[in-house]
Amino acid sequence: MPTRRSLEIVAEFTDKISGVKARRPGLDAMMADARRGRFDAVLVLASDRIARSVKHYLEVLDELNRLQIEFISFRENIDTGGPLGRAVVTIIGVVAELERSLIIERVRSGMRRAKLEGRQIGRNASGCGPEFYAGFTQW
């Protein structure tokens, strides 16, 4: 678990696109600066801000580890500076991917149900958007 220590923030990296994407401007810039040795720790609000796929998440963490850069997550209160922190980060990555898969499954199920009930999903055949989108109240 992280201990209280003084950290100097040298840069802030943000992305406006989904963590599902492996290539994101903010993440790419952070990794480029990591390779240049511009910092020795990465602090995130939550582990799922790095990636939603376990494979990508572990690739990022592996590269940070190779570069001797610690990964610290505020929400989960973990730090990869030790073996327990590295194990917890891996478990959290698995849970984040599971959560994403469950969301996708629920959305697809809701869309199938709506289609069976005769509700229109998406755009009209004319190519114009519908006047409104069907809302799903039950999954």
| Per-residue pLDDT tens digits for 60-117 | 888 888 899 988 888 878 788 778 877 877 787 778 778 888 988 999 999 899 888 8
**Range 129-134 average pLDDT:** 49
Q: Quick one: pLDDT at residue 17?
A: 66
Q: Quick one: pLDDT at residue 138?
A: 47
Residue 64 lies in domain: 25-116
Nearest partner of 71 among 37, 46, 36, judged by Cα? 46
The model's pTM is 0.57
Count of the separate structural domains present in the chain: 1
15 inside domain: no
**104-131 burial: b if 16+ Cβ within 10 Å, else e:** eeeeeebeeeeeeeeeeeeeeeeeeeee
Q: Quick one: pLDDT at residue 130?
A: 47
CATH number of the domain within which 45 lies: 3.40.50.1390
Where residue 1 falls among pLDDT bands split at 50, 70, 90? very low
20 inside domain: no
Q: Quick one: pLDDT at residue 84?
A: 83
16 inside domain: no
Q: Quick one: pLDDT at residue 51?
A: 77
